Chains A and B, each alone.
Chain A
Amino acid sequence: MIRILIVNDSKLTGGMVACALEDEPNMEIVATATTIEEAKSYLRRGNIDLALISSRMPEYGAMDLINHLQDSEVKIVLMGLSEPENQIMEYIEAGIEGYVLRDGSVEDLVKAINFMDKKEAQIPPGIAYDLMSRVAELSLVLEKLNSKELIQNEELTSREKDVLKLIEEGHTNKEISDKLVIEIGTVKNHVHNILSKLNVGTREEAASFFALIKARKS
């Protein structure tokens, strides 16, 4: 039996989802929460296998709850997604096990939960391609991280570290130039030096490298 917590800011919508899933023989609705705090309170009781979270929770609530569950054994299925594929990737990287798009159906939701239960996933080709690229990118970065090249990070100047942090946050050269109040040409020089010192080919690889270093230090 899959014990499910439904998290939806609409009491009625949450109730309707609960009502629809109650027909499934292998699913039990433990509770329905309308706020993130209420959801966390239910999760503390420890009798939940799956959190079914609406992506439309206010104030980035869905991502907050996903991050909250990162070290727990509770699986996550996100529903109602209408974001472009790159944002779905962010949710996948944050730790969701399944998702249902806003254009999906209740049947798709049931399938996603059952796939998750069997430790499988149903992934559209576009997302699968992004995932494969991401795995390859991370694998390369990890390889470098585990080699002596890690030491080179220590050679970054204080300014280069500032620039690297802003690259990791997704800023363009122009935005970095504005934020650090330096010429755009200077930013480009810093980016060139960063890529060279980290021995990576792209800003994205540098950003992944920085994220892994941060994770390692924390």
Chain B
Amino acid sequence: MKGVKIILASDSKFLVTLLRRIMDRSENLEIIEEYFDIDNLKEERTSGAGDWVILAFNKNSDEIEILRNYLNHEKGSRTRLLDFDADRDSVDVYEQNHAGQTITVDSIDDLYDILNAK
């Protein structure tokens, strides 16, 4: 079992399979669930199982808002939300009940660093 457990949410099958390959190469990152439909994620997720949610390359701001709302209502959650914007090569990182923080990611190592940060 790897250290950081990841729930992957994206409407792009290609990006999900791509991220899975990238995560498989890392020593500490593990994808434990994949969702192509945000509503399914909201309904099926059990609280506290993951350290991260990645919303990969999903430009639908309504869905990001749904996930932020979901995150804010998880009890005692350490889960964080990472929203990747391919147009700006950056991620917005959200913690429970906190405003987002935008971080530039130029490389896979940058992404690994953000995911591994506690």
Query: Which residues on A are within 8 Å of B, measured CB to CB?
Result: 9-13, 15-17, 19-20, 23, 79-80, 100-109
Contacting residue for A100 out of B14, B19, B89, B110, CB 8 A: B14
Tell whether B17 is near chain A: CB-to-CB under 8 Å.
yes
Chain B interface SS verdict (over half):
helix
User: Given the complex of chains A and B, what is the CA–CA distance between A13 and B25 in angstroms?
Assistant: 16
Give every chain A residue within 8 A of B22 (Cβ-Cβ): 16, 19-20
Tell whether B111 is near chain A: CB-to-CB under 8 Å.
yes
User: Given the complex of chains A and B, what is the CA–CA distance between A80 and B12 in angstroms?
Assistant: 9
Total of A-B residue pairs, C-beta within 8 Å: 59
- The answer to whether A20 touches B21, judged by C-beta atoms less than 8 angstroms apart, is yes
- The answer to whether B14 touches A80, judged by C-beta atoms less than 8 angstroms apart, is yes
Contacting residue for B25 out of A12, A19, A109, CB 8 A: A19
Give every chain B residue within 8 A of A9 (Cβ-Cβ): 86-87
Known: A11-B106, A11-B107. A107 touches B17 (CB 8 A): yes
CB nearest neighbor in B for A106:
B17
Contacting residue for A17 out of B18, B25, B89, CB 8 A: B18
**What is the minimal beta-carbon distance from B81 to any residue of chain A, in angstroms?**
18
Report which residue of A9, A10, A103 has the largest number of chain B beta carbons within 10 angstroms of its beta carbon: A10
Tell whether B13 is near chain A: CB-to-CB under 8 Å.
yes
CB nearest neighbor in A for B110:
A12
| Interface magnitude class on chain B | 20 to 34
B60-77 CB contacts (< 8 Å) to partner A: none
Contact with A along B9-53 (1 / 0, CB 8 A): 000111101110110010000000000000000000000000000
- The answer to whether B21 touches A11, judged by C-beta atoms less than 8 angstroms apart, is no
- The answer to whether A105 touches B13, judged by C-beta atoms less than 8 angstroms apart, is yes
Contacting residue for B14 out of A11, A19, A23, A104, CB 8 A: A104
- The answer to whether B108 touches A102, judged by C-beta atoms less than 8 angstroms apart, is no
Give every chain A residue within 8 A of B87 (Cβ-Cβ): 9-10
CB nearest neighbor in A for B105:
A12
CB nearest neighbor in B for A100:
B14
Report which residue of B14, B15, B18, B106 has the largest number of chain A beta carbons within 10 angstroms of its beta carbon: B14
**What is the minimal beta-carbon distance from A29 to any residue of chain B, in angstroms?**
13
User: Given the complex of chains A and B, what is the CA–CA distance between A107 and B108 in angstroms?
Assistant: 20
Contacting residue for B108 out of A19, A79, A103, CB 8 A: A19
- The answer to whether B86 touches A106, judged by C-beta atoms less than 8 angstroms apart, is no
**What is the minimal beta-carbon distance from B24 to any residue of chain A, in angstroms?**
9
